[in-house]
Amino acid sequence: MSEFQNIGLIGRTESDSAVLSLKRLMAFLEREGYSVVLEQETASAAPNHNARVAPKDKLGELCDLVIVVGGDGSLLAAARALAKFSVPLLGINRGRLGFLTDITPDEIEQKVGEVLAGKYMAESRFLLDMSVTRDGKPIGKGSALNDVVLHPGEFIRMIEFDLYIDGQFVYTQRSDGLIVSTPTGSTAYALSGGGPIMHPKLDAIVLVPLNPHTLSSRPIVVEGSSEFKIIVGEHNTAKPHVTCDGHEQVITKPGDVIRIHKKPHRLTLIHPLDHNFYETCRSKLGWLN
């Protein structure tokens, strides 16, 4: 008997192709005798079903495995909601890149079947927690599997901030912002900003300046256990924004303090046995074979 009996499903409901793959997956799971639990919003896109329905955060309590049908953004959202429940995630790619969702739509039955039969590899990924305080009082927080980003917000305007790592002053920087990225996020926005590609197994965090106003400011890779404090400069005319995986936005003011550290709960990401990080980089980033 499979270790996974109760399977949660989350689909990218605005995508017709994702909904088609979701229905195909549901039919396969039901034929094989698994108990299916549909995420609440996903259920609205798949009418005439017999599955149980639950809010996204409840899937972690009800399911042994959650399968996400969509792009990397869909999986990132699921990871933020479900990491605290330690429920593993498996991704079926109906997005563009698919660094995290690595099963293709035409191999749903084969690859999902192999995973349910115990033929899979599991990776542990860490997330980041972010909080913002103003005059010592909390005004916002969020979590991220990819990255926490400080950026100018609505207007393209240089911002100034102070960076501390583990209580030690690093620099005062004037730039378009800063990306604080996990290894998972190193192939996302941080890569576009000139950061290094980091293997997912690394226990490290990279800080990538966005268009710094000095040629000597370069990405820094530090221990995954590091704690970061960013103080928004008093002389900023803009109100810098902080986003987690491009969501959970907090608008800051001069003097606000942003704190970032590793989340205590880790995500378990499931892959088929033939998953290869370097092959994924080759195919997704256009490296020569």
Task: Give the catalytic positions in this structure.
Answer: 72
Q: Is 174 annotated as a binding residue?
A: yes
176 bridge partner residues: none
Q: Is 129 annotated as a binding residue?
A: no
Q: Is 171 annotated as a binding residue?
A: no
Q: Is 81 annotated as a binding residue?
A: no
Q: Is 73 annotated as a binding residue?
A: yes
- Which 3-state string (H, E, C) describes the chain? CCCCCEEEEEECCCCHHHHHHHHHHHHHHHHCCCEEEEEHHHHHCCCCCCCEEECHHHHHHHCCEEEEEECHHHHHHHHHHHHHHCCCEEEEECCCCCCCCCECHHHHHHHHHHHHCCCEEEEEEEEEEEEEEECCEEEEEEEECCEEEEECCCCCCCEEEEEEECCEEEEEEEECEEEEECCHHHHCHHHHCCCCCCCCCCCEEEEEEECCCCCCCCCEEEECCCCEEEEECCCCCCCCEEEECCEEEEECCCCCEEEEEEEEEEEEEEEECCCCHHHHHHHHHCCCC
Q: Is 269 annotated as a binding residue?
A: no
Q: Is 60 annotated as a binding residue?
A: no
Buried b (16+ CB within 10 A) or exposed e, 51-63: bebbebebbbebb
Q: Is 176 annotated as a binding residue?
A: yes
Q: Is 146 annotated as a binding residue?
A: yes
Q: Is 192 annotated as a binding residue?
A: yes
Q: Is 166 annotated as a binding residue?
A: no
Q: Is 259 annotated as a binding residue?
A: no
Q: Is 52 annotated as a binding residue?
A: no
Q: Which residues are annotated as a binding site?
A: 72-73, 146-147, 157, 174, 176, 187-192
Which residues sit in the known binding site for NAD(+)? 72-73, 146-147, 157, 174, 176, 187-192
